[in-house]
Structure 1
């Protein structure tokens, strides 16, 4: 039993089974709060705690899953390719909207961090919260954050975004398919994009586009905005 738990197979199988349970629960209830990723995280934490399994043993399999993050993100370009005519027709408002969303996300984190007196390291770790994990980890390293904290904030942002985004769009009567997709993808990256794909193909395609563009904008904007805030003695 100990040899199985210290094997990478254990982490992969536990993750797959926990996610499948979450997926079944979500498909039966269709309640946004029962996000498969959130349910799987709760189950995995509970199992590791109950049976006193170390995170290092579990993470040997987790690292294998993490390896596939980048190619799985690239696959999101498929629905975008199907809607390439929309991108060409509305390229300026689409790119402008993603850029505005990304920059406002960075600025809001800085302002809230100042409000709650967070230190610079934690602030830097939270800045890339709205981009996909591989990009966010590299940005975090670049600006002096803690990648592990960044990953946690990215997952939390994605889950929260996928849960509340549809309600916010309804609340503010945002019905345009392109606008909905761009908003979800810019604010809650790949996890939000999975929800956008459920809403519609156009929303999913635009959300997939937003992941890549938001990542690029954040790579360049985050260090510049932080340096500007330091120069203005805001940080």
Structure 2
């Protein structure tokens, strides 16, 4: 039974199933705390802790989702490129919104971790996580962070 629960197919199906269930719950309640990504995140943490399945095993089993996420980022970039003419007139609002979003992302992660008592090295490792992993890894080292933490978290 334990090998079935830790199998690639089960972990992948559980993740997608929990996300779909979270989507149903969110559509019915419209509560931000019941967003499908947050519900799936919390449910998977509880499941992995309860079953003793290491995160590295889960990450290996769901690598197809990481691949699909990477493809969706590329697709979003392409769609943005296709709309560049429409965006030219809105350059200032888009730039301001992007800047505010980046600053908010970094500050919320750092202050949340700080509130939970994270060490300075951990804070320096997770601060650059609002950008892509290659950039975050190159920024983390000079900040005094641990590059392996930056690339995994």
- The verdict on how the C-alpha distance between 1:61 and 1:84 changes in structure 2, with shifts beyond 3 A counting, is same
1:33 aligns with 2:41: no
2:135 is matched with which residue? Answer: 139
- Matches of 1:3 and 1:103, distance apart in 2: 41
Question: Could you say which structure has the greater relative contact order, defined with CA pairs below 8 angstroms and 6 or more residues apart?
Answer: 1
Given the two structures, how large is their TM-score scaled by the length of structure 2?
Answer: 0.69
Q: Which runs of 5+ in 1 are unaligned?
A: 153-235
Partners of 2:19 and 2:37 within 8 A in 1? yes
Following superposition, the deviation at residue 70 of structure 1 comes to: 1.3
Map 1:1-235 → 2, pairs under 5 A:
1-77=1-77, 80=80, 83-91=83-91, 93-94=92-93, 96-97=95-96, 100-101=99-100, 104=103, 118-119=119-120, 121-131=121-131, 135=132, 137-142=133-138, 143-144=140-141, 145-146=145-146, 148=149, 152=153
Report the number of matched residues: 144
- The verdict on how the C-alpha distance between 1:28 and 1:150 changes in structure 2, with shifts beyond 3 A counting, is farther
Partners of 2:129 and 2:150 within 8 A in 1? no
Q: Could you say what the CA RMSD is over the residues aligned between the two structures, in angstroms? A: 3.5
- The verdict on how the C-alpha distance between 1:23 and 1:123 changes in structure 2, with shifts beyond 3 A counting, is same
- The verdict on how the C-alpha distance between 1:17 and 1:102 changes in structure 2, with shifts beyond 3 A counting, is closer
Following superposition, the deviation at residue 81 of structure 1 comes to: 5.5
Given the two structures, how large is their TM-score scaled by the length of structure 1?
Answer: 0.48
Following superposition, the deviation at residue 5 of structure 1 comes to: 3.1
Following superposition, the deviation at residue 117 of structure 1 comes to: 9.3
- The verdict on how the C-alpha distance between 1:36 and 1:95 changes in structure 2, with shifts beyond 3 A counting, is closer
Q: Which runs of 5+ in 2 are unaligned?
A: none
- Matches of 2:71 and 2:65, distance apart in 1: 11
